[in-house]
Structure 1
Amino acid sequence: MSFGQGGPSWGPGDSGTPDWAALAEASAARSRRRKWLMIGGGALATAAVAAVVATAVITSGSGGASGSGKNASELPTPADLPAETSAPGPSFSSVAPPPPPDPKDYIADERKDTAPVTVDAFFPGRKLTMGDRVYAKGATARTTNCATATQGALGGILDGNGCDQVIRATYSKGGIALTVGLAVFGTESEARKAAQQASGGLASLSGSGVPTFCRAGAVCRRTANSYGRYAYFTVSGYTGGKNVTTSSKDVYAVGDDLTEFTFRQIRHRGEVQASAAAGLPTS
């Protein structure tokens, strides 16, 4: 069928009626062409995608983290990997380290307590500070005749338990004076017995600015304690001769301070020797 400038041609005879068979054939032909064009375009698109995928697979197989050039089918599967590595694991000793030395062991027996026993080792300096309280140090003394540093029955008790020596030091503050005495024994048990059996008391030590005190019948406060192989005693009172009573809180405070200080000095002696035995730094 053809169309001229004068309008459509309707078929033989120009009867004015369209040639319906020719029109149907032409429409079918156009539909077939469109179908084949769509099929051909889809095939081309599928081929292009397949080419891209193939390129990606080849690229992945030729590189990889190891650079081995294997493709995906040649890479190891999880079943091919070793179950264990050869790297060594951490090791721990089954032997526990020895415990640190006990400082008290080094002041409980003269065989371990080998540091020098001197006045300055226990009562150093020219004054003593305890918190906000400052005590001036007076006279000091050291004797191997233990009984001469005592009054009453204490001398016989010290000698009976094997006392080796007595070190004394006096401190004063505000009209109150105190003498502390450190009796040295060979063992802890000897020192403990001497403190438990204490009777009488330590003889006060005057001099170096401190007048005679706690003599001639004056009532004073006396204490007795022990730690390690050391028994330590105090006698404290008023330098003016007034008697000490249970309400004399100032005298009790001085006695408590010096008793605590002496205990700390003995304990520190053990700590220093224990640290040295363990190879640790000492203060």
Structure 2
Amino acid sequence: MFRDESPAAGSPAPGGDVPQSGTTAEIDVSAMGEEKPSRRMTPRTTMLLSAGFVVLLLLSGGGALLLATSGSGASEAELTGEGVADESNDSEPLRSGNLFPETVDAGGEEYSLVIDDDTDDCATAAQGGYGEQLEENECRQIVRASYTSEETNRAVTVGVAAMSTADNAQAAQEAQDLGSSWFAGLNGEQGSGTERMRYASGQGSGAQWGRYLIFALAANNDGRAAPRDAEKLTTLSDDFVEVPFDSLSERAQE
């Protein structure tokens, strides 16, 4: 799996898609309430979450996220996400056991699954006003899982939001405001190393593929911002965003 350069902003991607610009923003969340073979997704969005809704930095870039395996027999549905573009031909609910393995190797460390969650009340898995945007764009389900590594004292929430159509997924992605609202981390039990994830400061990454929005938030397990860890947390969140794709890609082939 690898990241590659994307075409210039606004130029067509394979399959006719037009990539969106990646975004990086440093924001404050402390006040928030409560392709296997060369499969193209929309570019990832990346954000550094730190402590009160004030946007300190906003940059645009064009990095696209690609997944690759050996072989060249990918169907058009796999390449573009067309096979999972509408719930009318992709109606099976997501299951956490298929999406999230018991352990994940990322950043040279092993992360263990602590907790998973499945809800059709998408607003409960979002921060700020993003829950309303998810509901308006017909979010059907959000499945999340949180992992931790004892060696690095880091924790990650990774998740998938299933929208009704790819168009609604794109609209929900465009409605994200990294300065005030996004997906929420998933808390585990006290002492699990994931108990602060809902309000943790960290690094988040996300992508759209078909009707699915994939996201990951990587943080120190004490929930505190640590600017010196930003680069490592960025790599970690990028790695975890790719975790659900083995399962999602199978749906496009059915």
Q: TM-score normalised to the size of structure 2?
A: 0.60
Give the corresponding residue for 1:204: 185
Higher strand share: 2
**1:116 Cα deviation after fit:** 4.0
Matched, 1:102 2:84: no
Q: Using the alignment, how far apart are the partners of 1:180 and 1:229 within structure 2? A: 17
- In structure 1, the gaps of 5 or more residues are 1-98, 274-283
Counterpart of 2:157 in structure 1 is 179
CA distance in 1: counterparts of 2:236 and 2:128, whole angstroms:
23
Matched residue, 2:95: 118
The Cα of 1:240 is off from its aligned counterpart by: 1.8
Superposition RMSD in Å? 2.4
> In structure 2, do the counterparts of structure 1 residues 251 and 162 end up closer, same or farther at CA, with 3 Å as the change threshold?
same
Q: What CA deviation, in whole Å up to 9, does each residue of 1:117-153 have, x standing for no partner?
A: 2111211x31123584321111100111100111112
Q: Which runs of 5+ in 2 are unaligned?
A: 1-73
Equivalent position of 1:258 in the other structure: 240
Match of 2:109 in 1: 133
The answer (yes or no) to whether the contact 1:227–1:263 under 8 Å persists in 2 is no
3-state SS of paired residue (1:201):
coil
User: Contact 2:154 / 2:220 at 8 angstroms: preserved in 1?
Assistant: yes
Higher helix proportion, which one?
1
Q: 1:233 to 1:244 in 2, by over 3 A?
A: farther
Q: Using a 3 Å threshold, how does the CA distance of structure 1 residues 157 and 248 change in structure 2: closer, same or farther? A: same
Residue 172 of structure 2 is matched in structure 1 by: 194
Q: Is the 8 A contact 2:157 2:197 kept in 1?
A: no
TM-score, normalization: structure 1? Answer: 0.55
Tell me, in whole angstroms, the C-alpha distance in 2 between the residues paired with 1:234 and 1:130.
Answer: 13
How much identity, in percent, do the aligned residues show? 27
Cα gap change, 1:268 to 1:233, in 2 (>3 Å): same
**Larger-Rg structure:** 1
Contact 2:106 2:236 in 1 (8 A): no
Moved more, 205-214 or 175-184: 205-214
Which protein, 1 or 2, shows the higher relative CO under an 8 Å CA cutoff with sep ≥ 6? Answer: 2
SS in 1 for 2:161: strand
